Every structure is written in C-alpha cells, then in structure tokens.
Amino acid sequence: MKWHLIEYGVQTGRENMDIDISLARSCGQDEAFFRLYGWNPYCISLGANQKFEDIDTERTSKESIDIVRRPTGGRAILHAEEITYSVIIPYSHDLTPKKIYKAVSLALIEGLKLYDPVFEELKLEDENPHFPSLLRQPEGVLCFGSAAKNEIKFRGKKIVGSAQRKMDKVILQHGSILCGRFHRRLPEFVSVDDPTRRSLSKEMDDKTIEIESITNTKTDYGRLSECLKEGFSKFWGINFESVKNSKSAFLFQQS
C-alpha cells in the first residue's frame, strides 16, 4: 500500500473538513493518507448528527470562533491549541474499522512517547460509555466530557479524542491531540444556563488533560509533528512514499 503524508498546515474549519472528505472520496484501494493540521481561526466542530442549536453563536461570533460540522460522529470540540490528525485508509475483512481505530491510537502513542518520555504512561480506554444515557446528560454535548473505547488517556484523563466514519470502502478517522488549555473554554460557548455551564467546566477539568499541563512547557508544534510522523511510520512499518503540504492537498481537492 502506498502511504501519502500531508504535512502540518493551518486552514479554516471548512477547508479542513473539505480536505478530509475529498481525500476519503479520492482514496484508492492501494493507498492511504496521514495528515496533520491546525485551525485558523479557532473553530468548534460538531458531530455529524449534532445540533447547531447546542452552540451559542452570539458568543462564538464575539470571539471570532468558527463553527463547522464534521463528517464523522461524536460531539462538540473546540479546536484551538492542538494538532489534529486524519487517517484515510481502505478497510477490509482483515483490517476492520475497529482494528484501524485501535491501531491509529497506538501509533499516535508511539509518536507522543518520542516527544517526551512522560507519555510512556499513556493508555487506551478499555470500555465504551453507555452513549444513549450519556447523550441525555448536559455533558453529552462535549466530546472531551468522556472517553470512548481505545481513545488515549493520561493518568485517567483524556488527551486525544477521535471519531471515525465509513465512506464507501475507506475509513476516515480524525481527532484532536490536545496541546494547550484553550479547549477547556468550550463550555463558555454551549447553549446552557450558568449553573450547567459551571458543571460542564468542572467536567472538562476533571476528565481532560493536555500536553502543556503534563510537561509544564509550551508545545513545540514542529517537533511534535515530526515525532507523530515518526511514531506513526514506526508502528505501521511504513515509509511515506509521497509528501504533500496542506495547501497542495487543498488544491488537489478543488481539482
């Protein structure tokens, strides 16, 4: 299989989602993509079935925060100080969506361990929450309010959130690797009353963590990107056969 690497680049929320969707639609049965990216302006993404009414658009507008819908499931994420990844790969009887999800998470752990030895403590969540019950709760609107099976945690707190979707014969999987604390402000932009907002903020503090809170240093995004690429390549046993930047990927999806 030929693996394409798309280097880290920063786009709007709409552009980022369009690139991921286009790569999934154009992916052949003998190729796969690994992409790293950021968001400018900061952006709240909603799961495919989530309501825009969950978000207070007046507040997001005042702070110049975009809103976009993801093609994948899951719940709201405030994309800010993070590296986002996407993987597009054909699935089969031997390489099922569940196996892909777990393998991608393990590959990301390899990259994070290269970035800092403290991440030897990273573990995969081993259970799924009861999603029907969770979604009826106020915290059900927040992706980082809970962890799904095989998402990545550090000392019991979620540090990487991921979502997946089948598109024809390929899997699109993407997720957020939390670097700074800005993502914790998401409850400020949720359409709830003040007591509920305070409860959601506590939920975020109790259940999430980010690289900078673990290492007590500012994230070196360039080095982190290199470590993630190296860890991914090592875990999957691959050499990336072609390299594109995010701008060329965006132009590709426009053609």
Cα–Cα distance between 214 and 77 in angstroms, integer? 20
User: Which strands form 43-46's sheet, in the order they lie side by side?
Assistant: 66-69, 43-46, 77-79
Interhelix angle 221-236/97-115, nearest 10 degrees: 130
Q: Out of 27, 143, 179, 227, which one is annotated catalytic?
A: 143
Query: Contact at 8 Å (CB) between 195 and 82?
Result: no
User: CA torsion, points 8, 9, 10, 13, in degrees to nearest 10?
Assistant: -80
Name the strands in the sheet holding 31-39, side by side, starting at the edge strand that comes first in the sequence: 122-124, 152-154, 157-167, 170-178, 82-90, 31-39, 2-11, 242-244
For this structure, is 43 an active site residue?
no
Q: 246-254 and 13-26 are packed helices; what angle lies between their axes, rounded to 10 degrees?
A: 70
- Residue 87's alpha-carbon distances to 119, 125, 174, 176, 240, in angstroms, are 22, 20, 6, 12, 13
Catalytic residues: 143
